[in-house]
Amino acid sequence: MDAEFGWVADGMKQLVPWVATAGIEFASVEADRVVCSLPDVPEQRNHVGGPHAAVMFGLAETASGAVGLASFSAVLDRATPLVVDAEVHYRALALGALTAEAVLGRDAAAVLAELDAGERPEFPVRCTIRDEQDQVTGELTVRWTLRPKR
């Protein structure tokens, strides 16, 4: 994990209690890329034996939020990151533990320039969900905004 962003994992668990409750772990945190994982929990499986769709979504959305926190931590005193919308595609039956990789889909400097200009910028974070066999089982794009604080 990048030493500069090591605080993001702890921050996510404190800011969003569900992250710790779900058991999400952070393997890698960089300014524009986060990898996190979730163990296989029998109580979180669906009717076909894989992780429930909500669990897959939650893992990837958490990774996307961590990207936003790492990328825009310098402006959290004047802007609040919020999800605008999300698009999810379930590609294959996931089995076992999951890993989600989230990547910032826009240049952070351009997002900050819009915020500095008094706008409410939006930015996508693209996520890939893989299972224990490293098979892509889902893809998610979460569109975030930085809402200026009043």
Please report, for the chain, the start and end positions of each structural domain, with discontinuous segments joined by +: 3-148
- Residue 32 DSSP symbol: S
Q: Which residues pair with 59 in a beta bridge?
A: none
Q: What is the mean pLDDT of each run of 10 residues along the chain (150 residues)?
A: 80 91 94 96 89 95 96 95 97 95 98 96 98 96 95
User: In this predicted structure, what is the pLDDT of residue 2?
Assistant: 61
Structure-block tokens of residue 42:
């029998």
Fold of 3-148: Thiol Ester Dehydrase; Chain A (3.10.129)
> How many angstroms separate the CA atoms of 44 and 42, rounded?
5
User: In this predicted structure, what is the pLDDT of residue 17?
Assistant: 92
User: In this predicted structure, what is the pLDDT of residue 144?
Assistant: 98
pTM above 0.85, yes or no: yes
